[in-house]
Amino acid sequence: MVASISSVRSVSVSTVVPQIPTRQPCVLALSNFQSYFSFERYIKQVFYFSAPGSSALKQHDDQEEEEEDQEQKSPRIDNHDEEEFQRLVCSMRESLSRLLVPYYPLAGRMRRRERLTTIQELHCNDAGVMVVAAMANTALGDARQCPIEHELYPEPRVTKFQCGGIAVGVLTCENILDASSSFPFLRAWGEIHRGLALGVAPSFDSSVLKPRDPPQVNLPVRDYVVAPPPASTVEAMAKSSQDAIPDRQRLFHIAPDRVRELVAEVQRGRFFSSRDEPPPSSFEAISAMIWKCVADVKDLDDSESMTYIYALSTKGPKRWSPEIPSHYCGSSAHIPCLAAPVGEIRKNHISHAAKLLRDDIQSATQERIQSAIDWMELHLRAGIFVDDNFPLPRWSGRAINSNSLTAFPIYELDFGWGRPRHFSFVLDAEPGSGAAILLPTRDGGRDRHLAIRLPENQMKKLLEHQFFLKFATPV
């Protein structure tokens, strides 16, 4: 199913503010993990639901194809439906307003300090959250390849389809929330909407990730670099995107038995053959497959380097001390940028890439990450912008930006209509580079979806890559 921009029309636009005003003035200090970005970055995601109150919510998943066929034959949008939809959206706005009382920073705005523009603060001024309600003149169909989510920018939407299905698109600022914070927030929204009480209140105290006083860079900093001013970076990227080959995003399914086979394949390689080497994790195995296969399809010489960029959470007792509270709400992810010669990744067994990733993860000690935080502090205080160590120029095509969301409660979002039928993450890739994200499926367990975004010519090669297709099936 393809929903074009012209098939979606907005029916209401509103700004939702906290039900109880936040006491002013209220300015929230941000950690360096939140404020170092040279420009604002947004996470775009869409949750697809069956029609609220429909029999589809009560039927087993194996009947979905039959339901989708029926939906496409039975468009039901009329004036009455629009009124019902507006009432539903109104109730969602009301529950969001209640939730924004404890989550008041999400209704604020980021600002740069007047005298030191490299430092950002969050002004919790109740400016509000924009909510757009829209209706699509098409059936929901197969949402797994539905490109409607690319219409999210610059605002989120609650969209109703002809079949009665609902798409809830959410746009969150990555500078403020990472995945470990955004999904608990969304789950709490669903719980408040269903009349449940909020569990543990969120904490926005980022002091556990603060720099030392004075800052101490005790280990080399590899993953962050000095960056040009934001305006010049955005301008250069805009120019490069005009000449870049158009990107294409595809979704792949990695079944549990394929995950096991891939892990076994990595373990058979000589880089994991030692008895003292623990078996590879599914994350290491799938990440190695992404790195190796994308390296194969890129137009790069063997002598060039390719960087695998991924997110590493600092939450958990083994990663940080004192432990970052599970209810901490904010960006707390370290971004390792692991580079290796393209020829090494291509020519060696997949276990080579997996071992590089394992060693890199194990090297990300608290001292290494704390040194990076302190390094950022020294530069930001001096008025120098910093950013991820993305290969320069950013549009050179020598990187793949990857992440995994398999540990997060994506399919626990419930507004009272049942769990999502499908979840879609909108990938943003630097022009010419690539992006990949590993997702859980509705079935849970080791069942995986893998979304990849690449230039069209590279995606065409990936869809013909025999080793990749041995484990990943196009959806």
∠197-198-204 over CA atoms, to 5°? 165
Domains, the chain, with CATH or none: 5-206 (3.30.559.10), 224-474 (3.30.559.10)
Asked whether 317 and 323 are in contact (CB, 8 A), the reply is yes
Place of tokens 């290796």: 340
Phi and psi at 203, nearest 5°, equal -115, 135
Per-residue pLDDT of the chain (475 residues; tens, 9 = 90+): 233 334 677 778 899 999 999 999 999 999 999 888 766 778 888 898 987 765 433 333 444 444 444 344 333 444 457 788 889 999 999 999 999 999 999 999 988 877 667 788 999 999 999 998 888 776 665 555 555 555 555 566 788 777 778 889 898 888 888 888 999 999 999 999 999 999 899 999 999 999 999 999 999 999 999 987 766 555 665 565 555 678 899 999 999 999 999 999 999 998 987 778 899 999 999 999 999 999 999 999 999 999 999 999 998 878 899 999 989 999 999 999 999 999 999 999 999 999 999 999 999 999 999 999 999 999 999 999 898 898 766 677 899 999 999 999 899 999 998 999 989 888 877 777 899 999 999 998 999 999 999 999 999 999 999 999 999 999 9
Q: In angstroms, rounded to a whole number, what is the distance separating the alpha carbons of residues 66 and 53?
A: 18
Amino acid at 96: L
Amino acid at 463: L
Q: Which residues of 68-82 are buried (b: 16+ CB within 10 A; e: fewer)?
A: beebbeeeebeeeee
Asked whether 113 and 121 are in contact (CB, 8 A), the reply is yes
Number of C-alpha atoms within 13 angstroms, CB side, residue 293?
24
Amino acid at 338: L
pTM of the predicted structure, to 2 decimals? 0.88
Q: Which residues contact 158 (CB under 8 A, 6 or more apart)?
A: 89, 92, 131, 132, 133, 134, 166, 167, 168, 169
| Neighbouring C-beta atoms of residue 312, cutoff 10 Å | 15
Q: Beta 422-426 vs 42-49: how paired, if at all?
A: antiparallel
Q: In angstroms, rounded to a whole number, what is the distance separating the alpha carbons of residues 95 and 86?
A: 14
